[in-house]
Structure 1
Amino acid sequence: MPKSQTVRRPVFARFYAHVAGPGLEKAGVGEHRARLLRDLTGEVLEIGAGHGANFAHYPPSVAHVAAVEPEPRLRALAIEAARRAAVPVDVRDGLADGLPFEDATFDAVVFCLALCSVPNPHAALAEAYRVLRPGGQLRFFEHVRASTARMRRMQRVVDATVWPLLCGGCHTGRDTEAGIRRAGFAVTELDRFVFPATRIPTPAGTHILGIAVRPRAPGDGDPETRTQSRA
């Protein structure tokens, strides 16, 4: 596995923790965080935990959360949030494409607004697959490629120019659902929606939230996917 390295983005970390994060909470992101983590059990890994905003939403059925966050300022805030969590949370340095865990360690892996900013989402999903136990769940809540051609063109423009520089490496137009399927997961639940609800559409407005499963044996067919789509 690649050796873990710290990712320093101090300006973005301050902005996200003190401006963007609270703005998302005011817009109602907590409801989506709660949906993402509902009914989880056992050993859970959260990749790209940021400042720990999810920790308060883990249900008591979770035995333990291992959380990795490579940005030092965000990781320090996540450690503080872990102390207030109702379930045991261990926060450590770590990169999505080189996780410091053995194969088949976790019952669930969580990506929450993180796959947009990892340098190599394919490698990150491959690592998530590796550390999941067969039959384990991938929970994901991410902003993704837009549904309309016009907005996809806008996403390509901003992703090739200022957006990643201003937003900590974030890319607005990644086809994360397709990436999850290519990594070998079977998507079993998928909700597509716009968040937050704004009068003027934004490049990062299209989101997906759902569950995928690591198959128990090679050759297992994909379970039926329950899909919702909301404008």
Structure 2
Amino acid sequence: MTKTVSHPLFARMYPRINAFAEAHGSLDHRRELLDGVRGRVVEIGAGTGANFRHYGPDVEQVIAVEPEPRLRALAEQSAKTGSAPVSVLPGRAEELPVDDGVADVVVASLVLCTIADVPAALAEAARVLKPTGELRFYEHVRSGRPGFLRWQRLLDPLWRLLGGGCHLTRDTVRAITDAGFTIEQVRHFEFLIKGRAGLASPSVIGIARPPKPRVP
């Protein structure tokens, strides 16, 4: 039985937050994230389905997993407008409702900041990926600047409360490598709004390869 994740206030706010971010550059980030994606895709924490319209003609199928019922309903509507066939399923990143080794690509887009158990989620991503597959990730992360990081740590509890459990201080690239993935490429950047940095401005976009299967 799928555990429900309920964030009613955040779910109502998020479409406006996403629209604002897209108006200031995140559309380009999503295009960069998904450039060249092909085959079968598993997207974890699909939210409102903001990525769906960016999947190209080489994508055979998208299995989009979203635990929050209000966001999932919006994703189901978005699935009707994309060019790739999309199935939206209830489920958590820590327990993906997907068989082993079926995905050419797993997409994590602005979700590893919120997942309760990141190592479990990344282990699930590795499980559903083909050995030749790839993890595509686009996330806001902890700052590499000590002064900025102090502000992130100070305001992180309030941010989590208002942001549906979103953390400001996660070192996502390290979490991915700790899970056994190999980073193939990564771009660190500041997502600025009108030239100004916010608490969630430090960001990464990258590609990682799954851990090699263990030999018995």
1:12 match: 10
1:184 match: 180
Cα offset for 1:197? 3.8
Q: Residue 158 of structure 1: SS of its match in structure 2?
A: helix
Check whether the contact 1:43–1:64 (CA below 8 A) recurs between aligned residues.
Answer: yes
Aligned counterparts, 1:200-211, within 5 A: 200-211=196-207
1:32 match: 29
1:140 match: 137
TM (normalized to structure 1)? 0.90
Cα offset for 1:214? 1.3
Check whether the contact 2:61–2:85 (CA below 8 A) recurs between aligned residues.
Answer: yes
Q: Which amino acid aligns with 2:65?
A: V
Distance in structure 1 (CA, Å) of the matches to 2:210 and 2:132:
5
1:85 match: 82
CA deviations 1:17-46 (Å, max 9, x no partner) are 1x2011011112111101101111110000
Q: 1:118 aligns with which of 115, 119, 128?
A: 115
Q: Residue 43 of structure 1: SS of its match in structure 2?
A: strand
Distance in structure 2 (CA, Å) of the matches to 1:90 and 1:200:
37
Aligned counterparts, 1:1-231, within 5 A: 3-17=1-15, 19-159=16-156, 161-218=157-214
Q: Residue 80 of structure 2: SS of its match in structure 1?
A: helix
Cα offset for 1:196? 2.8
Check whether the contact 2:192–2:198 (CA below 8 A) recurs between aligned residues.
Answer: no
Distance in structure 1 (CA, Å) of the matches to 2:68 and 2:206:
26
Q: Which amino acid aligns with 1:136?
A: G
Q: Which amino acid aligns with 1:8?
A: S
CA deviations 1:181-217 (Å, max 9, x no partner) are 0111110010000113455432211000010011455
Check whether the contact 2:126–2:210 (CA below 8 A) recurs between aligned residues.
Answer: yes
Q: Displaced runs of 4+ in structure 1, greater than 6 A? A: none
1:227 match: none
Distance in structure 2 (CA, Å) of the matches to 1:60 and 1:216:
29
Query: Any stretches of 5+ residues in structure 1 without a counterpart?
Result: 220-231
Q: Report the number of matched residues.
A: 215
CA deviations 1:124-182 (Å, max 9, x no partner) are 111101111102100000000101001111111112x2110100100011000000001
